[in-house]
Amino acid sequence: MWEITGEHAPGLAGGVVAALAWLLAVRLVPSQGCRRRYAAAPGSVRTAALLMIVTAGVHLALAPHDLRDSPFTSLAFVANAAGFATVAVATFGAWWWRWAAAALLVATIAAYLLSVLIGLEGPDQVGIATKLVEVTALGLALVPVPHEPRPTHPVLRWAAVAAAVPALTMLTGLTVWGADLLRPAAGHHAGAVVQATASVPTPEQRAQADRLFEETAAAIAPYRDWRVAWAAGYRPAGPTAGAVHWLNAAYARGPILDPRRPQGLVYVRGRSDWVLAGAMFETPRLGEFGPDPGGPLTAWHEHQDLCVSPLGPAIGLASPYATCPLGAVGMSFPAMLHVWIVDNPADGRFATDLNPKTIRALQRS
């Protein structure tokens, strides 16, 4: 969701090239009548036409990729691009262009959301950006403006704009978000980027992972009493619900992956007291993974695009539009590796997260 996939990169270039070609074409078109009509059109109409041309360029550039494996998809992209180009040209003369543009834009957005829902396409930055362009074009195509040559149904059109634009923006975001959480891209796990490793650990890596687990479990055993952890400098940080991370500022700059000095401890609030669930190792800087002795068993993960509030201990996920609630800012955290000393059967001893069932069991203890 946060990357531009290789197969969609040509779409980005296609959109930019199409926009430039359109802006050049409307100035160089030989017919004076056409140029006059373009110059006389409201800014909203000219912008709607430009945005539709951008969409046409994106889809046309994506068509060759699917030509061999999925010729129907390729043909649909070409037909869609031709449709948008036709409507964009029609904006400066034909009476029917608004409703044709609205129908084509809604159909295009719906087709994208359907393909994301059923897994034909993974959401990425080009796809989301194109949908934002299309929603904006829809609003500009429908919005009534002063001095229209043939003003029709202004109240109905305002109602359509006010309802469709926020609703489609929301629906697109929710669909993309849901698909990304249910089917994360390779190397991603619920808002975290996982370190790339070999898929199968070697016997030596298994032994190293076992040793890291045993050494860490032994080293943090005294911290089962949270008062000892407090005395050692660990303090609760971040969200106070579920698995609560206690961080030690003294170890923020290192050492990395020292079982005796983990950067954090993870506790769950039980019925009577804090229950120690594991340790957390963290690198000092963004974008760097730590040493990986266990190969795929001890892969680090980096939480990216989280919403963090300085107003209180709260963490959420940034929306697909990279927006956070008011009072929170989007940020990322350095790479981390957890070692769970409690039974975490579904996800394992070095999993990115503590399993919710495990958390509930600890909360009841």
- Interface residues toward other proteins, by CB under 8 A: 2-4, 12, 42-45, 47, 125-126, 128-129, 132, 135-136, 139-140, 143-147, 158, 161-162, 165-170, 173-174, 177, 239-242, 286, 304-305, 307, 309, 311-333
- Taking the complex as a whole, the smallest distance from the CB of residue 269 to other proteins amounts, in Å, to 10
Among residues 10 and 144, whose Cβ is nearest to other proteins? Answer: 144
Among residues 144 and 201, whose Cβ is nearest to other proteins? Answer: 144
The strand ranges marked E within 151-263 are 188-189, 192-194, 234-237, 243-248
Task: Give, as one character, the DSSP assignment of residue 271.
Answer: S
Residue 62, amino acid: L
Among residues 144 and 293, whose Cβ is nearest to other proteins? Answer: 144
- Taking the complex as a whole, the smallest distance from the CB of residue 112 to other proteins amounts, in Å, to 14
Q: How many CB atoms lie within 10 A of CB 181?
A: 13
Alpha helices by DSSP H, listed for 41-70, are: 43-66
Beta bridge mates, 315:
308
Among residues 12 and 106, whose Cβ is nearest to other proteins? Answer: 12
- Taking the complex as a whole, the smallest distance from the CB of residue 200 to other proteins amounts, in Å, to 31
- Taking the complex as a whole, the smallest distance from the CB of residue 174 to other proteins amounts, in Å, to 7
Report the chain's C-alpha Rg in angstroms: 27
- 273 vs 270: CA distance, rounded Å: 5
Task: Look up tokens 């080009």; give the residue.
Answer: 126
Among residues 117 and 132, whose Cβ is nearest to other proteins? Answer: 132
Among residues 67 and 159, whose Cβ is nearest to other proteins? Answer: 159
What tokens appear for 107 in the block? 């159909």
Helix (H, G, I), strand (E, B) or coil at 266: strand
Among residues 151 and 222, whose Cβ is nearest to other proteins? Answer: 151
- Taking the complex as a whole, the smallest distance from the CB of residue 181 to other proteins amounts, in Å, to 10
Residue 143, amino acid: V
| Contacts (Cβ under 8 Å, ≥6 apart) of 89 | 49
Element holding 361 (H helix, E strand): helix 356-364
- Taking the complex as a whole, the smallest distance from the CB of residue 71 to other proteins amounts, in Å, to 28
Element holding 116 (H helix, E strand): helix 97-117
- Taking the complex as a whole, the smallest distance from the CB of residue 89 to other proteins amounts, in Å, to 20
